[in-house]
């Protein structure tokens, strides 16, 4: 982004620091108070400690005797403690700093962390899972005109294309042969090919729509972090140079995933075809499962490539390498957050889409029973239009949540690893944020 310095330049690497012990207390290597002359007021212990003084010293202002038969001179009381216990650790260390040099940590002890700067939808510090999800929802709520305008436009265009394809081009496809035990191999092959063609065309349209929505919403979310609104036109002008690269990135990731899964299934397929053995199908299933696990691992590793490409203006390969660097050591956390966000978005979308689907079936010629038992692709214009309205509403919800969580997760990883919050604070005009933070050594 042109007005957000630091998006494209990583911060300095973390370095080690020193911890300081509590102030005003002897450490484990420090000797206790040296014994002195017998107190004049009888406040100390006498002999072997069988007698106590009449008035106990206040807590925290006495030390144990140096040895049997000796008493310690009560010294002057220590200075009153400051806020919290102990001295403040060096700047840049604390529960929220992750040891990053220059990161404003906190050392107030029991006082808790100071409030982080929050110029936009998230506080400028490492985020929790709830804060990432809340940030995505807050972006929708705060900048709803731009967010819903982009989502609605993309969803309507994509759904109109899908409805026209299903109603005019793909209306004669039939999958009934797949459920017919007496169908010939030729009929099964034809039905399977038509089903795959129909699904592939719809998937391609949905993929292009997802790319467009992600490109535009990434810009909106990144500005929302700084508390700056952005119009749809501004978002498009900022994202336009990277849209084709983003499409190439997503297609490349899909090809890689499909190649890995197919490579895992290939030995079993060869055994089933050439050896005519039923064990080949089991081997193919096992290989496909193994390939799917590897593909999933890679997809999470490259899951932050999209915001890296859009915000850092990188190429496809460099964005993938950037994502792998940011996700390294946090794979399970990134996987869990993306999975949770996907489940929430799909549940909300299903709550909207499923009722529209049954309403569409009720107004179609065959009714709901025809929908459940139908094996044909000819669903009628009424069904396509009504169910398409539900799909548009569902997409308006899923697009912003998925894109927002991915962008905020990318920002969170950079805050944890590169102290990006300092750059964001300067870009947002927050004065005094991180002042006095050491550079580390």
139-153: average pLDDT: 93
Whole-number Cα distances in Å, 120 to 144, 210, 228: 14, 25, 7
Of the pLDDT bands very low, low, confident and very high (cuts 50, 70, 90), residue 62 is very low
Q: Give 35's DSSP letter.
A: B
User: CA dihedral defined by 169, 195, 343, 217, rounded to 10 degrees?
Assistant: -40
Q: Answer yes or no: is pLDDT of 23 > 60.
A: no
- The first and second tokens of residue 150, run together, are 């982009």
Contact 309, 316 (CB under 8 A): yes
Query: pLDDT digits over 229-284, tens only?
Result: 899 999 999 999 999 999 999 999 999 999 999 999 998 888 877 877 777 788 88
Contact 404, 138 (CB under 8 A): no
- The first and second tokens of residue 305, run together, are 């490539």
Choice between 324 and 186, residue whose per-residue pLDDT is larger: 324
Q: Answer yes or no: is pLDDT of 222 > 90.
A: yes
Query: pLDDT digits over 71-128, tens only?
Result: 445 555 555 544 433 444 444 444 444 444 444 444 444 555 567 888 999 999 999 9
232-274 and 144-164 helices, crossing angle to 10°: 40
The C-alpha angle with vertex 65 and arms to 60 and 67, in degrees rounded to 5, equals 155
Distance of CA 314 to the CA centre of its chain: 20
pTM metric for this prediction: 0.69
Q: What is the pLDDT of residue 136?
A: 94
Of the pLDDT bands very low, low, confident and very high (cuts 50, 70, 90), residue 13 is very low
Contact 159, 210 (CB under 8 A): no
Of the pLDDT bands very low, low, confident and very high (cuts 50, 70, 90), residue 185 is low
> CA 121 to CA 190: how far, in whole Å?
52
CB under 8 Å to 441, separation ≥6 — which residues?
A: 15, 101
The two most distant CA atoms of the chain are separated, in Å, by 112
Which residues are bridge partners to 369 per DSSP? Answer: none
Question: Nearest CA to 388 among 365, 357, 367, 361?
Answer: 357
What is the average pLDDT score of the chain?
75
């Amino acid at each position: 982004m042109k007005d957000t310095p630091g998006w494209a330049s990583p911060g300095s690497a973390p370095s080690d620091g020193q911890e300081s012990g509590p102030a005003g207390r002897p450490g484990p290597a420090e000797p206790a108070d040296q014994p002195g002359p017998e107190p004049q007021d009888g406040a100390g212990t006498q002999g072997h400690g069988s007698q106590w003084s009449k008035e106990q010293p206040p807590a925290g202002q006495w030390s144990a005797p140096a040895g049997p038969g000796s008493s310690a001179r009560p010294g002057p009381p220590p200075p009153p403690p400051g806020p919290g216990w102990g001295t403040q650790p060096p700047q840049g260390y604390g529960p929220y700093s992750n040891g990053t040099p220059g990161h404003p940590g906190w050392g107030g002890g029991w006082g808790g962390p100071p409030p982080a700067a929050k110029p936009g939808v998230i506080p400028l510090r490492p985020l929790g899972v709830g804060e990432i999800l809340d940030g995505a929802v807050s972006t929708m709520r705060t900048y709803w005109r731009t967010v819903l305008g982009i989502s609605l436009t993309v969803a309507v265009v994509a759904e109109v294309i899908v409805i026209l394809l299903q109603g005019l081009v793909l209306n004669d496809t039939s999958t009934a042969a797949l459920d017919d035990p007496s169908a010939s191999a030729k009929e099964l092959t034809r039905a399977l090919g038509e089903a795959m063609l129909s699904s592939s065309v719809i998937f391609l349209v949905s993929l292009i729509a997802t790319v467009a929505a992600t490109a535009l919403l990434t810009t909106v979310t990144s500005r929302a972090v700084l508390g700056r609104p952005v119009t749809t036109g501004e978002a498009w002008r900022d994202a336009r140079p990277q849209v084709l690269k983003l499409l190439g990135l997503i297609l490349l990731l899909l090809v890689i995933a499909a190649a890995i899964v197919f490579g895992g299934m290939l030995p079993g397929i060869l055994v089933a075809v050439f050896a005519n053995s039923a064990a080949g199908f089991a081997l193919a299933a096992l290989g496909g499962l193994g390939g799917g696990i590897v593909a999933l691992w890679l997809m999470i590793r490259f899951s932050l490539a999209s915001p890296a490409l859009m915000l850092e203006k990188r190429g496809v390969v460099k964005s993938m390498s950037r994502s792998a660097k940011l996700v390294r050591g946090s794979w399970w956390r990134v996987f869990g957050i993306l999975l949770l966000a996907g489940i929430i978005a799909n549940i909300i979308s299903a709550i909207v889409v499923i009722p529209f689907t049954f309403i569409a079936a009720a107004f179609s010629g065959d009714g709901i029973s025809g929908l459940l038992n139908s094996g044909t692709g000819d669903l009628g214009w009424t069904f396509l239009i009504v169910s398409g309205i539900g799909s548009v509403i569902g997409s308006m919800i899923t697009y912003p949540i998925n894109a927002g969580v991915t962008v905020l997760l990318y920002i969170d990883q950079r805050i944890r690893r590169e102290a990006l919050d300092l750059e964001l604070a300067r870009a947002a005009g927050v004065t005094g944020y991180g002042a006095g933070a050491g550079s580390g050594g």
